């Protein structure tokens, strides 16, 4: 039962394409064995989309995230970000792309324990071409935007889990990235704090931010406007949130009947 | 225009970015940073203080040499090791007063010269005696060449020489040893078998701490012709010449050599049967030795800098591996490999320079302590500027050299692997 849908479920067809993957593969060599972590993935993401990538472990969603985040290079295929072909870039070029166009949010926050929230948010600007002199101002503004104006001088160990993730989101956004990549952003948080963070994502999406979110949890994926499900290195379904819900309901009904 | 400025601007940015990050890191790990730099501190302190001690020693020796006079040329007979005089008898080699005749006219760079005859004799005055005093036969010009004038009585004159008078000059030490009156002019003393009238007292030889023991200060001077007559031609005879200016030393030596080769009738292929010695030559030799000693000592002590450098490398490697996740994060947010490399490199260089600075301060303290050691003749010890520059340069080079490997390791980390690192 394969219902692979290549037509992207885009709300506004005329908006700018941010990400375009064309038949991308990623092959790892482990000894003599070749593992196809991604096996011909094609994908288009438009500006201001809110996408959840789901799938069991080993389905290739982490590999897809690393590729989208320019941490890794595809074995074959084309990856265009904001219309630039990234496949031919060297390590320095990829670093520049990551700095200017991509914001990462990690499951375990990845904050520097010795530095204040402000210093943590400033960090990407240190490596940016023009952000050096305005880094204090921009970092402060970004902390205000995620609702941490009163936590500027606090160190990560003086912050709660939710606050830590807000600092991490502020850090991801401080360079005005084209896309925000979040890898299980609520994985280390309790359900109430998770809801807070997801509401922040909703708010950012409403402000025009393009978001790609990797998650295991259906409750998290429900916030997204588009859900991509992966299986064995391929895109299994790519539907709008409502269609995805409906299909799941139908499947549950179907399997329910079978199980009866 | 922007493209032309782009590269230096990017480099400048990388530079202050790295300094900012490195200083932050060093400040965050204060205790570790201080411990790490200890090796460099000790290294630089020992290099600078050893060089300072050697410099002080050198300054002392040089000042002692200068007190001996730098424009004097010592002329002495010498049997060459090869050629026709290799096994010539001493009778041929030794000097005779005649060979110096006409020296003044033939050697324009020579200001003056004195013939010298040297011996050791017992000196008696009444019941008092000195077993062996140095007895010198001298020309009147000796006073000027050796810069020793009489403090009492009169110096020798040409009259003393021409008449072969039995007169002598003594040093205050001899006068005191013989328990004579302060005014001893006109008294007669017995030198060897003969009686001499004292005509003057010569000032004591300048005592130098280094060469103080070189000659006894119990000296008796008699006119050279008298000495020559007294001891006969087998006596040890040499000459001292002084040149007009220290700069003319080389010319004066050349003239003397030419003159002496002629008066001694040496053929064109014959080696010299005399030796010209200048204090400056010794100075040059000493300088070479001093330089070599400084280099060797500096090198040996430089090993401690090497050890310090290995300490830096070790701690930088630890730092890289414990900050792997942070490096991964920095790479993920857009740090180029060059930025990571520079951050770690600058960190190790700053650590080393910091160590160098403290080390130079400790070296200065040590030097002041060394200068105060009594009787070590190191009171002139100081750290020369080149030693400071050298040890600082070496510390910086140590930082670059030993920081390079950990920095490359950090720059090459794969961000995905680094972020997964526990």
Task: List, for residues B370-379, the tens digit of each pLDDT value.
Answer: 888 877 777 7
**CB within 8 Å: A112 and B335:** no
Minimum distance, in Å, between the CA of residue A93 and any CA atom of chain B: 8
Q: Which residues of A touch B337 (CB under 8 A)?
A: 91-92, 95
Cα atoms in the 13 Å half-sphere on the side-chain side of A221: 22
Q: How many CB atoms lie within 10 A of CB A36?
A: 16
At residue B399, φ and ψ (nearest 5 deg) are -60, -45
Confidence of residue B405 (pLDDT cuts 50, 70, 90): very high
What is the CA angle B358-B362-B368, rounded to 5?
A: 150
Q: What pLDDT score was predicted for residue B3?
A: 58
CA B22 to chain A, closest CA, distance in angstroms equals 13
Structure-block tokens of residue B220: 């008796």
Chain B residues contacting A via beta carbons under 8 Å:
13, 17, 20-21, 28, 325-326, 329-339, 415-416, 419
d(CA A128, nearest CA chain B) in Å: 8
Taking the C-alpha atoms of residue B129 and residue B178, their distance in angstroms, rounded to an integer, is 6
For B21, the closest chain A residue by CA position comes to A126
Percent of chain B with pLDDT over 90: 17
**Could you tell me the CA-to-CA distances from A79 to A71, A88, B125, B163 in Å, in that order?**
13, 10, 116, 117
B329: chain A residues, CB-CB within 8 Å? 110, 112, 123
- Which of the residues B3, B18, B334 would you substitute to probe the A interface, choosing the one with the greatest number of A C-beta atoms within 10 Å? B334
Q: Which residues of A have a CB under 8 Å from any CB of B? A: 66, 69, 71-72, 91-92, 95-100, 104, 106, 110, 112, 114, 123-124, 126-129, 132, 171, 175
Indicate yes or no: CB of A110 within 8 angstroms of CB of B335. Answer: no
Contact flag B17-A69 (C-beta cutoff 8 Å): no
Question: How far B313 CA sits from the closest chain A CA (Å)?
Answer: 23
Q: Is the pTM of this model over 0.90?
A: no
What homologous superfamily is domain A47-68+89-259 in, according to CATH? P-loop containing nucleotide triphosphate hydrolases (3.40.50.300)
Walking along chain A (260 residues) 10 residues at a time, the average pLDDT comes out as: 44 75 92 90 93 90 92 92 89 92 92 90 86 86 92 93 94 93 91 92 93 90 92 91 87 73
Using DSSP's 3-state secondary structure scheme, residue B132 falls into strand
Query: Dihedral sign, CA of B280, B281, B285, B288?
Result: positive
> pLDDT digit string (tens) for B81-109?
877 788 878 888 888 888 888 888 888 88
Q: Where are the alpha helices (DSSP H) in B197-278?
A: 224-231, 249-263
Q: Which of A127, A128, A138, A139 to mutate to test the interface with B (most CBs of B within 10 A)?
A: A127
C-alpha to C-alpha distances, A102 to A71, A215, B69, nearest whole angstrom: 10, 18, 80
Which residue from A66, A72, A99 is facing B334, i.e. has the nearest CB? Answer: A99
The helix (H) or strand (E) run that includes residue A221 is helix A218-221
DSSP class of B376: S
Block residue for tokens 């490359």: B408
Q: Do A127 and B333 touch (CB under 8 A)?
A: yes
Tell me which chain A residue has its CA closest to the CA of residue B413: A91
Which chain B residues contact residue A72 at CB under 8 A? 416
Selected residue of B20, B332, B335, B336 to mutate for chain A interface (largest A Cβ count, 10 A): B332
The residue extents of the domains of chain A are: 47-68+89-259
- How many other β-carbons are positioned within 10 Å of the β-carbon of residue B347? 28
Contact: A132, B17; criterion CB under 8 Å: yes
As a whole number of angstroms, the distance between CA A155 and CA A137 comes to 18
How far is it, in rounded angstroms, from Cα B29 to Cα B246? 60
**Which of B152-156, B205-209, B266-270, B362-366 comes out lowest in average pLDDT?**
B205-209
């Amino acid at each position: 039962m394969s219902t692979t849908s290549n037509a992207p479920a885009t709300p506004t067809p005329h908006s700018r394409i941010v990400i375009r993957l064309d038949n991308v593969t990623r092959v790892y060599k482990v000894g003599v064995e070749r593992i196809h972590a991604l096996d011909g993935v094609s994908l288009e993401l438009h500006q201001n989309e809110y996408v959840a990538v789901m799938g069991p472990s080993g389905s290739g969603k982490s590999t897809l995230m690393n590729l989208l985040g320019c941490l890794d290079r595809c074995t074959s295929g084309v990856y265009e970000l904001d219309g630039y072909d990234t496949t031919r870039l060297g390590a320095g070029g990829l670093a520049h792309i990551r700095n200017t166009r991509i914001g990462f949010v990690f499951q375990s926050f990845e904050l520097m324990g010795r530095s204040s929230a402000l210093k943590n948010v400033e960090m990407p600007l240190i490596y940016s071409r023009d952000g050096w002199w305005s880094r204090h101002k921009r970092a402060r503004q970004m902390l205000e935007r995620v609702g941490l104006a009163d936590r500027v001088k606090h160190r990560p160990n003086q912050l709660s889990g939710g606050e830590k993730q807000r600092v991490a989101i502020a850090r991801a956004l401080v360079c005005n990235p084209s896309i925000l990549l979040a890898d299980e952003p609520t994985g280390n948080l309790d359900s109430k704090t998770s809801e807070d963070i997801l509401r922040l994502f909703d708010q950012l999406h409403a402000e025009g931010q393009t978001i790609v979110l990797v998650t295991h949890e259906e409750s998290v994926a429900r916030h997204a406007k588009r859900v991509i499900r992966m299986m064995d290195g391929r895109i299994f379904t790519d539907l709008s949130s409502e269609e995805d819900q409906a299909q799941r309901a139908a499947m549950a009904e179907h399997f329910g009947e079978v199980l009866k | 225009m922007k493209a032309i400025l782009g590269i230096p601007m990017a480099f400048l940015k990388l530079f202050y970015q790295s300094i900012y990050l490195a200083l932050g890191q060093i400040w965050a790990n204060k205790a570790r940073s201080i411990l790490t730099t200890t090796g460099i501190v000790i290294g630089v302190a020992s290099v600078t203080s050893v060089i300072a001690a050697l410099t002080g020693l050198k300054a002392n020796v040089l000042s002692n040499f200068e007190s001996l006079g730098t424009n004097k040329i010592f002329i002495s007979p010498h049997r060459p090791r090869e050629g026709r005089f290799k096994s010539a008898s001493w009778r041929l080699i030794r000097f005779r007063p005649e060979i110096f005749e006409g020296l003044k006219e033939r050697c324009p760079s020579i200001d003056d010269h004195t013939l010298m005859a040297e011996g050791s004799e017992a000196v008696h005055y009444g019941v008092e005696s000195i077993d062996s005093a140095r007895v010198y036969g001298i020309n009147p010009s000796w006073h000027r060449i050796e810069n020793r004038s009489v403090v009492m009585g009169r110096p020798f004159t040409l009259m003393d020489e021409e008449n072969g008078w039995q007169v002598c000059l003594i040093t205050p030490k001899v006068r005191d040893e013989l328990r004579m009156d302060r005014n001893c002019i006109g008294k007669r003393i017995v030198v060897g078998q003969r009686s001499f009238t004292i005509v003057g007292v010569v000032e004591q030889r300048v005592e130098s701490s280094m060469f103080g023991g070189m000659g006894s200060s119990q000296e008796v001077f008699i006119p050279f012709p008298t000495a020559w007559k007294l001891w006969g031609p087998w006596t040890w005879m040499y000459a001292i010449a002084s040149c007009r200016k220290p700069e003319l030393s080389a010319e004066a030596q050349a003239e003397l050599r030419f003159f002496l080769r002629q008066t001694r009738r040496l053929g064109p292929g014959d080696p010299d049967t005399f030796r010209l010695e200048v204090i400056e030559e010794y100075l040059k030799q000493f300088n070479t030795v001093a330089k070599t000693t400084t280099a060797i000592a500096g090198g040996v002590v430089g090993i401690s800098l090497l050890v310090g450098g290995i300490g830096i490398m070790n701690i930088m490697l630890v730092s890289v591996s414990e900050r792997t996740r942070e490096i991964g994060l920095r790479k993920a947010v857009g740090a180029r490999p060059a930025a990571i490399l520079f951050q770690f490199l600058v960190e190790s260089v700053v650590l080393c320079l910091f160590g160098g600075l403290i080390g130079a301060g400790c070296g200065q303290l040590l030097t002041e302590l060394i200068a105060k050691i009594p009787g070590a003749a190191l009171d002139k010890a100081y750290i020369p500027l080149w030693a400071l520059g050298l040890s600082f340069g070496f510390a910086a080079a140590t930082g670059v050299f030993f920081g390079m490997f950990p920095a490359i390791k950090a720059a090459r980390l794969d961000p995905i692997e680094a972020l997964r690192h526990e």
